[in-house]
Amino acid sequence: MRNQTTLAVTALIAAMAIFPGSSMMADDAPEVTIQNYVRAETDLQMRNYVENMDAFGQFAINRSPQCKSN
């Protein structure tokens, strides 16, 4: 039951990220203020994960190995 709930929530969030409502178009985007900054930053990060790494709902590693001299 818990896995089904997790899967349903993940699918719902993915659908919301892929098919945003028409109110979230660039022309209609709300102004970012101190009150909504956290939400705006979260939305931006999630969009970047989905677009750049195709990693929504998955683990993703986004770093390269470091050399010893560093």
Residue at 60 is within a domain: no
Containing domain of residue 31, as a range? 2-53
Does the pLDDT value for residue 45 go beyond 50?
Answer: yes
Residue at 67 is within a domain: no
This model's pTM is above 0.85:
no
Q: Total domain count for the chain?
A: 1
Q: What angle do CA 22, 57, 1 make, to 5 degrees?
A: 105
Residue at 48 is within a domain: yes
Residue at 19 is within a domain: yes
Residue at 69 is within a domain: no
Residue at 27 is within a domain: yes
Tell me the backbone φ, ψ of residue 25, rounded to 5 degrees.
-70, 160
Does the pLDDT value for residue 9 go beyond 90?
Answer: no
17: confidence class by pLDDT, cuts 50, 70, 90? low
Residue at 23 is within a domain: yes
